[in-house]
Amino acid sequence: MNSTVVLQRDGEIALLLIDNPPVNALSRQVREQLLECLHQALGDKTVTALVIASEGNTFVAGADIKEFDLPLQAPHLPDLLAMIENATKPVIAALHGSVFGGGLELALACHYRLAEGNARFALPEVSLGLIPGAGGTQRLPRLCGALAALEMVVGGERIDTARALQIGLIDKVVATELRSSAISWAYEVAQRPPRRVREQPIPAYDAAVFNERAAQLLSKLSGQEAPPLALEALQQASRLPFEAGMAHEREIFIARRQSPQAHALRHVFFAERELAARVRAHARSAPTRSIETVAVIGAGLMGSGIALCLANTGIPTLLVDTQEQALERGRLVVERYYQGSLEKGKLNADEASRRTSLIRYATTLSSVADADLIIEAVFEDLAIKQEVFRQLDQFAKPGAILATNTSYLDVTAIASATSRPGDVIGMHFFSPAQVMRLLEVVRTPQVLPEVLASVLQLGARLGKTAIAVGNCYGFAGNRLLAVREREAGFLLEEGASPQDVDRVIRGFGFPMGPFELRDLSGVDIAWRNRQGRAGHLSEAERRCDLIEQLHAAGRLGQKSGAGYYRYEQGQRRGVADEFVSQMLVEHRRRRGITPRPIGDDEILARCLFVMINEAAHLLEQGIVDSVNDIDLVWLHGYGFPRYKGGLLYYADQVGLATVATALSNWARAFAERGIEVSGMLQRMAEEGRSFTHG
Ligand code: 3H9
C-alpha cells in the first residue's frame, strides 16, 4: 500500500505529512494512515507537539469526492478529528493552497493554525449538494462567530489569508518556510495546554442581522436543498451542546450524500474536470499558436464584452469599429464597467486603470495587422460577416487566427470569404461575455488542429468553459434552444399561455422561461432567424407564426416595451397582456385548433424531451464529442439548474425508455411537425442504457 501519510521527527516535534496527489483529498487510506501516525505520535513520550502539513501545492481540498458513491468507510473523519482535538499534546495545522471542506474541518480540529500567504479557505460542500460533515458547522461559528460562519457554510464563501486572519480562523501568516515555522511554533506551544475549539462558546451575535443575511443567501440559492440544511445545522450550534450538534450535522450529511441533488452535482463536478482534461489533451496533441494580442471587430455590447473579458485576463486588446459613434459607445461600456468594479471594491484603482488601458480603440480594419487573434463580433448577417472576413484576410498577418462570434451562421461559409479557411474558427461567446462562462468553439472541417487547440486553450485562460462543437445551424446550445422554443410555440397553439409555460420552466429551476427569454433577447432576432430559415421550416412550424405576428405588431420584446408580455416603464419583469391572449385566440381559430387544458407535467416533458432528442441527434452527428458537453453547454450558457446535473443527466433520471416512448407518441400524434426521434436514443432506450453510463 502506498504511503499517503508519513510521520517525520524534528527533535521533540512530530510532523504528520499528507501526500495524496493531486489535492491531498482525505480518502479512506489517508484517514487510516493519519490515524495510525497520530497514535504513534501521541503514544511516543518523546513527542511534545504535532504538526500536520501536506506535500504538493495544496493542504487538503476536502474529503475524497469519489468515495461519496461508496458506503461509508471507517475510520470516519469526524472520529479522526475528535481524536486530534482531544489530544493532550498541542497539534498545529500548517496550511497552504486550498484548505477546503474536510481539509478546513481538519484544520479546525487542530489547536493552532498557521498559514502561508497563498492559502484559500472554503466550505464548498453546499456546491456538492452536501453540508459540512466533520464539524464545519459546529467548530467554525465557535472560532469565527456565527456571521462569518454563515457566509462560508451556507454561502460557500471562499476567503483569503487576510480575511481568515481577520475573523480568527488562523492564528498566523508566514511568507515562506511554512513547515519550519510551524515546527518552531510547535516548540513554543508545546508548553501550553491544547486550545480546543469545541470548548469555546459561540461569540454573541445579532440574531436579526444573522437571520436577514441567511434569508438573503437562501433566496439566491433557491431550488437547492443543501443550503437550508446547512443553515439548520449551523443554527443548532448555538442551541445544542457540541456533541449533540455534531451528531445532528452528521445525520444530515449522511442523508445528503445519497440525495439526487448531491448525485447530480457530483456528475457536474466530474464532467467539468473531464472537459478540462480533454482541453489539455487537445493542447498536447497539436502545437499551439501563441496569442498575446487580440483585436475585436465591432464595438457593440458583445464586442465590448469580449474586449472586457480579454482585458480581465491581462491580454492587450484592440477594439475596432468603423463607425466612430459605435466605437465611442464601446469605450463608454468599458469605462463604466471598470468604474463600477472600482466602486464595488472588486478592483483597486491601479488594477482598474491597468485593465482600462489594456483596451485600445481604432476605426480602421487595417489596424488589426499585429493581432495574433481577431474576433469578429459584427451584425449577425452572413453577407456582412463575409465582407469583414474578406477584408481581414487582407490585413491580418500570416498565422493570425480569425474567429467569428456568430451564434447561428455557417462558419464554413464565413471562412470561404478568406484565402485561409484553416485559420478561421467560431468563438461563440454568450452575453454578457465578461460574465457568462460558456464559450462554444466552432470547428469547421477545414480548421487546422493547432487553431482549434489554441482557441480552446485561450478559452481556459479566459476562465471559460470552452467546448468544441461542430458547425451547424445554432451549433449545440442554440440548436437545443431553438427546438425548445419551437415546442413552446406549439404548446401556445394547443392551449397553453406564455405564463403557463414560463412558470413551469422556471419551476424546474431555469432563471426564466422561453417566452421571457425571447422578450429579453428580442422578437426581431427570432423573426430574422425565421426569415433566414424559411426554406427549412416544416409546414407546421411555418404556420405557427406567432413571432411574425408579434413582429408585425411592433412587439419586439423588452426593447420595445412589449413582446409576449407587456413591460411597465423600467420593469424587467413582464405582465400578461390581453393583446397576446387575443392574438392566440385568433390564431387558434384561424388554424381550426380547439384549445385544451395542458398540465404542467406535459409542458415540462414536451419542452425538455424535444431537447433531449435534439441532443441525441447532436451526438449522432458528431456535433458534440461527449454527453458531458451537452450538459455543460446548457449549464454554463443557458441556466440549466446545476443541481439537476444537466440535460442528459436529467434524461437518465427520467429514464430513456420514458423519453423515447413519449417522443414516438408525439411524432405520431403530430405527424405534420416532422419530429424525428433519434435512432440512437431509441436504441439506447431499448437496450436499457443511459447517457451518463454508456
Ligand atoms: C467534503 O470535504 C465533505 C466534508 O465536509 C465531510 C466529510 C465527512 N476529491 O479542479 P482541478 C481532483 S466535500 C477527489 O482540476 P484545480 C479533480 O477531480 C469536498 N478528487 O484542479 C482533478 O482530478 P483529475 C469539499 C478531487 O487546480 C484533480 O483533483 N471540497 C477533489 O483547478 C485536480 O482538480 C471541494 O469541493 C476532491 N475533493 O482546482 C473541493 N478535489 O486530474 C473541490 C479535486 O483526475 N475541488 N479533485 O481530473 C476544487 O475546488 C478544486 O479541485 C481545487 C483545485 C480548487 C482544489
Predicted confidence (pLDDT) per residue in 215-249, tens digit: 999 999 999 999 999 999 999 999 999 999 999 99
Same domain, residue pair 93 and 197: yes
Cα of 63 vs centre of ligand 1, distance in Å, is: 8
Same domain, residue pair 583 and 629: yes
Residue closest by Cα to atom 49 of ligand 1: 61
Is ligand 1 within 6 A of the CB of residue 98?
A: yes
Residue closest by Cα to atom 5 of ligand 1: 132
Same domain, residue pair 184 and 307: no
CATH code, domain carrying 515: 1.10.1040.50
Domain count, the chain: 3
Cα of 647 vs centre of ligand 1, distance in Å, is: 23
Which is catalytic among the residues 440, 450, 487, 541? 440
State mean pLDDT over 508-513.
96
Is ligand 1 within 6 A of the CB of residue 62?
A: yes
Cα of 60 vs centre of ligand 1, distance in Å, is: 9
Cα of 24 vs centre of ligand 1, distance in Å, is: 9
Residue whose C-alpha is closest to residue 262's, from 152, 135, 124, 140: 124
State mean pLDDT over 440-449.
97
Which of 469, 502, 530 represents a domain boundary (last residue)? 469
> Which helix or strand (DSSP H or E) is residue 526 part of?
helix 523-532
Is ligand 1 within 6 A of the CB of residue 64?
A: yes
Which of 438, 469, 500 represents a domain boundary (last residue)? 469
Per the domain annotation, does 117 fall within a domain?
A: yes
Q: Is 80 exceeded by the pLDDT of residue 694?
A: no
Question: What single-letter DSSP state applies at residue 360?
Answer: E
Report CA-CA distances (Å) from 465 to 95, 271, 301, 458: 30, 11, 21, 11
Same domain, residue pair 429 and 530: no
CATH code, domain carrying 71: 3.90.226.10
Is ligand 1 within 6 A of the CB of residue 254?
A: no
Average pLDDT in the chain: 96
Instruction: State the greatest distance between any 2 C-alpha atoms of the chain, in Å, as a whole number.
Output: 93
Same domain, residue pair 185 and 318: no
State mean pLDDT over 450-465.
96
State mean pLDDT over 262-290.
93
What would the pLDDT profile of 387-434 be if each residue is shown by its tens digit?
Answer: 999 999 999 999 999 999 999 999 999 999 999 999 999 999 998 999
**Is 511 in a helix, a strand, or coil?**
coil
Same domain, residue pair 241 and 309: no
Residues 6+ apart with CB under 8 A from 691: 627, 648, 649, 651, 652, 656, 684
Per the domain annotation, does 266 fall within a domain?
A: no
Which of 448, 469, 490 represents a domain boundary (last residue)? 469
> Which helix or strand (DSSP H or E) is residue 480 part of?
helix 477-494
Cα of 494 vs centre of ligand 1, distance in Å, is: 48
Residue 131 CA, closest ligand 1 atom number:
5
Is ligand 1 within 6 A of the CB of residue 102?
A: yes
Residue closest by Cα to atom 17 of ligand 1: 273
Is ligand 1 within 6 A of the CB of residue 61?
A: yes
440 tagged catalytic: yes
665 tagged catalytic: no
428 tagged catalytic: yes
Same domain, residue pair 508 and 372: no
Residue closest by Cα to atom 50 of ligand 1: 61
358: left (phi over 0), alpha (psi -120 to 50) or beta: alpha
Is ligand 1 within 6 A of the CB of residue 124?
A: yes
Same domain, residue pair 87 and 192: yes
Residue 136 CA, closest ligand 1 atom number:
5
Cα of 59 vs centre of ligand 1, distance in Å, is: 12
What would the pLDDT profile of 176-211 be if each residue is shown by its tens digit?
Answer: 899 999 999 999 999 888 899 999 999 999 999 999
Determine the residue type at 136.
G
Which is catalytic among the residues 20, 407, 497, 628? 407
CA 136, 141, 143, 147 torsion-angle sign: positive
As separate numbers, helices (DSSP H) first and strands (DSSP E) second, the chain gives: 29, 17
Cα of 275 vs centre of ligand 1, distance in Å, is: 15
Q: Which region among 142-146, 279-283, 324-328 has the lowest average model confidence (pLDDT)?
A: 279-283
Same domain, residue pair 302 and 444: yes
Enter the C-alpha cell of residue 596: 385544451
Which is catalytic among the residues 54, 454, 478, 497? 478
Residue 63 CA, closest ligand 1 atom number:
2
The pLDDT score that the predictor gives to residue 283 is 82
Cα of 91 vs centre of ligand 1, distance in Å, is: 25
Mutation probe of ligand 1 site: the residue of 59, 65, 628 with most atoms within 8 A of C-beta: 65
Per the domain annotation, does 265 fall within a domain?
A: no
Same domain, residue pair 408 and 516: no
Is ligand 1 within 6 A of the CB of residue 72?
A: no
Enter the C-alpha cell of residue 534: 424559411
In the chain, the percentage of residues whose pLDDT exceeds 70 is 100
CATH code, domain carrying 354: 3.40.50.720
Residue 120 CA, closest ligand 1 atom number:
55
Cα of 56 vs centre of ligand 1, distance in Å, is: 14
Cα of 227 vs centre of ligand 1, distance in Å, is: 20
Residue closest by Cα to atom 22 of ligand 1: 273
Per the domain annotation, does 283 fall within a domain?
A: no
State mean pLDDT over 454-458.
95
What CA dihedral angle connects 515, 517, 523 and 529, to 10 degrees? -110
Query: pTM of whole model > 0.85?
Result: yes
Which is catalytic among the residues 111, 248, 267, 428? 428
Is ligand 1 within 6 A of the CB of residue 122?
A: no
Domain residue limits at 572: 477-687
Residue whose C-alpha is closest to residue 462's, from 428, 440, 437: 437
Per the domain annotation, does 278 fall within a domain?
A: no
Is ligand 1 within 6 A of the CB of residue 23?
A: yes
Same domain, residue pair 171 and 302: no
Same domain, residue pair 431 and 490: no
The pLDDT score that the predictor gives to residue 572 is 83
Tell me the C-alpha distance between 311 and 313, whole Å: 5
Q: Are residues 637 and 256 in contact, defined by beta-carbon separation less than 8 angstroms?
A: no
Q: Is 70 exceeded by the pLDDT of residue 679?
A: yes
The pLDDT score that the predictor gives to residue 1 is 64
Per the domain annotation, does 507 fall within a domain?
A: yes
478 tagged catalytic: yes
Per the domain annotation, does 133 fall within a domain?
A: yes
What would the pLDDT profile of 22-64 be if each residue is shown by its tens digit?
Answer: 999 999 999 999 999 999 999 999 999 999 999 999 999 999 9
Per the domain annotation, does 270 fall within a domain?
A: no
The pLDDT score that the predictor gives to residue 9 is 97
Tell me the C-alpha distance between 123 and 132, whole Å: 7
